[in-house]
Amino acid sequence: MPVVHRFAKLAVAGAIAGSLWAGATAYAQDIKIGYTADQSASGVAELGIAGRWGFEAAIEDINKAGGIMGRKVVGVIRDDQGTPPKAIQNMTELIDAEKVHAVVGPANSGNALAWLHLPQQKKIPVVVPIGTATEITTRYAKEPQNYLFRVSMVDREQVALLGAYAVKASKDRKIAILADSTGYGQGGIKDATDILALHGVTPVATEKYGPKDTDITSQLSKIKAAGADTVIIYGIADGTAQVLRSMEKINYMPLTLGTWGNLSSLLPKMAGGKLAEHLILAASTTEDTNAKTKALGERVRKNFPTLTTFPCSAQAYDSVMLLAAAMKLAGSTDGEKVAAALENVTGVEGVIKTYNKPFSKTAHEGLSVSDFYLARWKGDSPVRYEDQFTKALTPADLKK
């Protein structure tokens, strides 16, 4: 069932004032954009909720400015509950029943990988604002038209940042990889291993844990015995919290790096503030980056007062703005024309940055490692993290 929500009244010339429920029948001239992400079930639900509010804020701004080609934009929201079967069902409903013109989502990479074939086959452009698996945008890269785009962290790109930092900061270049056993985690192992190899480093240990495991001491003991002074964790917040707690149990606290999924408040809630601060993680933007991010943060917090995953809101907002720009450039909502236009849009004002031809025929990533930075939890919020090693990173280090 859809997550029921109400859009604010919009005073748009020619539009009918009133309220519209997500999933309700829209007027024929309306442009429908779907949003599907976990908003209730898994450790990334907080990211999915944050993305939803950014998605809605963008639609509100577009409609206030007159819509797209003079047509009102309607958001259709679905909760995939963190499971691939529900995610596939949502995408099928959005495309076949709701007849959306484009989709923004999801949060879980595994869910995206489960339904990529659907929009690709039916020529519906998708911009992924949260999921980070490298394969999301590359699986269909050799097709005449790839319909999958992204404005988010990318596994290989964030690993490029984490790996470069690890090589600089590790005293003996003894680095281990610890990942959850999901497709997300196992893809991360491959990316991390490949990136470290480009720096001439072979992991001294590679271990995995179940996403629901609460005791990871056995795996950590093996990593410790291998002499690792640095550990890259590839998992989301709830699993990472258990890893940190297990580290504390065996009194082994190496330099610990993690992916941006750890921006969820589940990490400090489950691990405790002190342990959460031990993790250094990758991030893409903060609320105080510029006036636009600050303004969006203030808007989103009206619906989500405890927001910690602001990058998801910003990335979802920018995803919608890029789709709108592509539809205007194409002069159409036809999926094939919009996907082609996405590869040519330029000068699109987002909140993270101005996107000057962010996509091309062969590259569908709107953000790159140059847009990312390291962060660390401090109290209730993640903040930018810098030290002597981050300052020593060069563009050459990050382009491995």
Nearest to 250 by CA among 222, 272, 231: 222
The string of pLDDT tens digits covering residues 330-341 is: 999 999 999 999
pLDDT higher than 80, residue 96: yes
DSSP of 294-315:
HHHHHHHHHH-TT---HHHHHH
pLDDT higher than 90, residue 11: no
pLDDT higher than 70, residue 80: yes
Q: Which residues pair with 280 in a beta bridge?
A: 257, 376
In this prediction, residue 362 carries a pLDDT of 93
Contact 117, 92 (CB under 8 A): no
**d(C-alpha 188, C-alpha 310), whole Å:** 23
Burial class (CB in 10 A: 0-12, 13-18, 19+), 11: exposed
For 164, residues 6+ apart whose C-beta sits below 8 A from its C-beta are: 195, 199, 393, 397, 398, 400
Domains and CATH numbers, the chain: 31-153+287-367 (3.40.50.2300), 155-283+373-398 (3.40.50.2300)
pLDDT (average), residues 371-397: 85
Contact 322, 345 (CB under 8 A): yes
Nearest to 46 by CA among 253, 268, 225, 263: 263
Least reliable range by pLDDT among 1-15, 260-274, 318-332: 1-15
In this prediction, residue 65 carries a pLDDT of 95
Model pTM?
0.78
Structure tokens at 356: 């000057």
Give the confidence band of 28 by pLDDT, cuts at 50, 70, 90.
low
